[in-house]
Structure 1
Amino acid sequence: MTGVDAPTSRTPPTLLAVAHGTREADGVATTEALVARVRALRPDLPVERCFLDLVSPSLPEALARLRGEVVLVPLLLGAGYHVRVDIPAALAEAPHLRARVARALGPDPLLAQILTDRLDEAGWDAPGAPRRPSALVLAAAGSTDPAANADTVAMAGLLGDRLSAPPALPAPSALPVVPAYLCAAGPTPEEAVAELQAAGHERVAVASYLLGPGFFARRAARAGAWVTSAPLGAHDALARLVTLRYDEALT
């Protein structure tokens, strides 16, 4: 014996990604692909996923199977009812766990990066185009919770800052970004696009501030915009944001 303690390994807390849930197979596949990217990014972590509605495993089912320490990372873009009420209520029924809840994914500059990438993929500022859009609508799901909608307003500000800064636009130009909501609040994307067009913006783009494809994404695409981006999807920066929220919760 040397008198020196041997190093011990300790399994880090489980990262439990908590998604909303959807009837759309493509939406579920997007969540699974995102979780797969999180696992690839952080192979040191045990990573599980569950859903708040419509898809198994449910949050209570996942919590019942887990043991030890867990960090719940909501795959949600705002701090609405699910984050404030549903997740804490489920944890109250799982006293066998030592659990922490990370904050919602948005707002965050990484999301502005992803939204910009999706707009670029949609061709909103394609080389050779006669003119780029003069206004943008940020189409979010919407909530009856004012806090969640306030997060969307903050995200619109972050996106506007990113898109208005050089080299995106020559200073001091500014691209107006109007938050809109697909349910539970207003204006709707259709209303926001129409109002901007009536104010003289001939080319209005819509950025889909949604995690995956589905009913809301299809509705956003019908808002009458010149171009509409795809949802955030399983972007590498989104996987990185999930792990950042995990690390924040631990510190």
Structure 2
Amino acid sequence: MSVNDDRQSGKGRWRMITPKWMVALLIASAGLALNASAQGITPLSNIDSAVTGSLAVASDSMWGFIFRTGDDAWGYRLEQVAIRMAPPEGQVSGLTAWLYEGGPNPAMRRRVIPLGGPVGESDGVVYFAREGVVLAGGTGHSFVLTADQPLSEGAYQWTMGTGLLGDGGWQTRTRWHSEDGIQWRSENSDLPNMPHFAITVTPVPEPSTLALLALGGWWFWLRRRQWRRKGG
């Protein structure tokens, strides 16, 4: 093989990684950097507070409360929700959790996020999770708990504690109750007792400079291809 052949071969190898593959590598590196910088936090929780009572959860006894997310401009990726439960009474089935953007009343809901049934349980703490959910920052949301069986057959017992403490702009508002999921009434008589609850989220990081450069390089490569086609 001649020197020119070596050069041509080397040039071919470089063509294989530029510019498209180089930009792709930049995008991948930016994604890794964003993931590495993001860490899960629990900005709203009273899960460890002393038990002050419980709420009976059934198909005709739904409980929930409104909370406000923090002020992160890019929102929060949901990791998990945890609640504390006492032993149920009677025959129970189908414990189900929901998140609403807005209030629990249908007219107040802007977005419905079904969390489904529990994904785990440990020492009376029950966990719910769903991938791909991002909660908008500085926005009211509702967490609602229901079940399949009516009160006449049995009820899950969602325990309460004193207060529901929030950090970074996260805060709770009112507790709500409904018998049909349509008509809800505020239950403020014994606040600050609130259902045991903890939410773990990951703040969505702002796009990094590297990510913006990568996207800019990708756009330039696309434009370069268009110019070549027009010129050719």
Q: Shared fold by TM > 0.5?
A: no
> If each structure's strand is expressed as a fraction of its own residues, which one has the higher value?
2
Give the TM-score, by structure 2 length. 0.28
| Structure with bigger RCO (C-alpha 8 Å, 6+ apart) | 2
> If each structure's helix is expressed as a fraction of its own residues, which one has the higher value?
1
Give the TM-score, by structure 1 length. 0.27
Larger radius of gyration: 2
